[in-house]
Amino acid sequence: MSNVTNRQEITLFKADATSASNDEKRPQRHEPTSATVSKYLYVAAFAYFGVSTRVLLTWLSREINNPLLDRLGDSFFLPNAFGSFLLGFVNSALFSRLANFDSTNTLKTGLASGFCGSCTTFASWQLIAAQRMLGGDWSTAVVQSAITFCTSYMAAGAGRSIGQPTSQQSCKTEQKADSTRAPFHRALLLSSLIFFILPTIVVWTKIATEADVKSRYFWVAVAFSPLGALIRYQLSLRNASHPTFPVYTLAVNLCGCFGNICILVLGNYLTNSQVLDDNWLAAFNLWILNGISVGLMGSLSTVSTWINEIWHLANKGRMYHSYRYAVVSVLSAQIICLSIGATYLLTSGRSLSLTDID
């Protein structure tokens, strides 16, 4: 009996020692301020490219002039599928083994929150679905929403699956030496600052000098994207305290829906009532209807992150929480859009037009 007890004590001691050794191998390091600032700069810079991709895919969908794409939603279907696919690929292969390597971790944050989050848009999807419901086309709205969700979910899964075979190739890179961390962080901060400043100069120069109306609409939408992406990223950091219900992603998505429907109603009112002259109305369409709605609200709301969170909940066996989060998000968005849109219809007697809303 004594020998058994001694063996148990030795086993426990070895287990404790192994655990302590593992803890020593995984030190909890405080992230330097320069690394944090670099992440924010990467998110802002990649937001430019994310919204650019979304608007260009929207234009491509309309140039194709396919009735199927029109019914699926030419302003969000392709961007949502592409952004969800890319986020799934990034999370599964390129950087999952490099979480402790700061440059890769910063790049991953920029791609995930900046590019993919801004390329996809929850607000435009829900706005168009609500507009079709208000117009009496409930069947198309429901089918459209179901197909959009399923396509984005499958695209994210496809991205993870394609990236899976290469995920084993990056194991050794994680152990890079930290002997020159301070110079490395300074270089990372400088490169991220340049990466943000250069496209910012290009965007605002184009806005100031571009004469073509369609091109100005494009650049104004792109110019407002970093603000929405940065707000979303900052709030997403708080989701760790809500592991079964990412409340802050829900909050930004609902804020995007609320902002979009309010801007749409205001735009319809100003157009129909002729309160503003043509110059002021053109300025409203350029800066508010396009810049705020397409650029800021479009990048504030996100489908790729939302799909990724639903996938993680389901993958951990929390199917109830996964379904609850998905259903509450869509129903809450529709309640907001339908209630405000219906109020406008009842008070004005006019239908909502989606002109210039991408």
Percent share of the chain, pLDDT over 90: 64
> 12 pLDDT band (50/70/90 cuts)?
very low
**C-beta separation of 215 from 206 below 8 A:** yes
Question: Which range among 109-118, 156-165, 167-176 shows the weakest confidence by mean pLDDT?
Answer: 167-176
**C-beta separation of 306 from 253 below 8 A:** yes
Q: The whole model's pTM is what?
A: 0.86
Instruction: Write the secondary structure of 272-311 as one string of H (helix), E (strand) and C (coil).
Output: HHCCCCHHHHHHHHHHHHHHHHHHHHHHHCCCHHHHHHHH
- Per the structure block, which two tokens stand in for 115? 């590019």
Interval 89-118: pLDDT, tens: 988 765 566 555 556 788 889 999 999 999
**C-beta separation of 43 from 110 below 8 A:** yes
Phi-psi label, residue 89: left if phi above 0, alpha if psi -120 to 50, beta otherwise? alpha
Backbone phi, then psi, for 99, in 5-degree steps?
-65, -25
Interval 16-55: pLDDT, tens: 443 334 433 444 456 778 889 999 999 999 999 999 999 9
- Distance (Å, rounded) from C-alpha 128 to C-alpha 148? 12
Question: What pLDDT score was predicted for residue 62?
Answer: 86
CA dist 148 to 32, 52, 71, 74, 129, Å? 40, 21, 11, 11, 11
Cα atoms in the 13 Å half-sphere on the side-chain side of 204: 7
Average of per-residue pLDDT across 184-209:
93
Question: Which range among 198-202, 217-221, 354-358 shows the weakest confidence by mean pLDDT?
Answer: 354-358
CA dist 21 to 14, 25, 52, 171, 238, Å? 10, 6, 48, 20, 30
- Distance (Å, rounded) from C-alpha 224 to C-alpha 286? 12
DSSP letter (8 states) at residue 164? G
Question: What pLDDT score was predicted for residue 192?
Answer: 94
- Distance (Å, rounded) from C-alpha 150 to C-alpha 138? 18
Q: Which of 23-27, 115-119, 156-160, 316-320 has the highest mean pLDDT?
A: 115-119
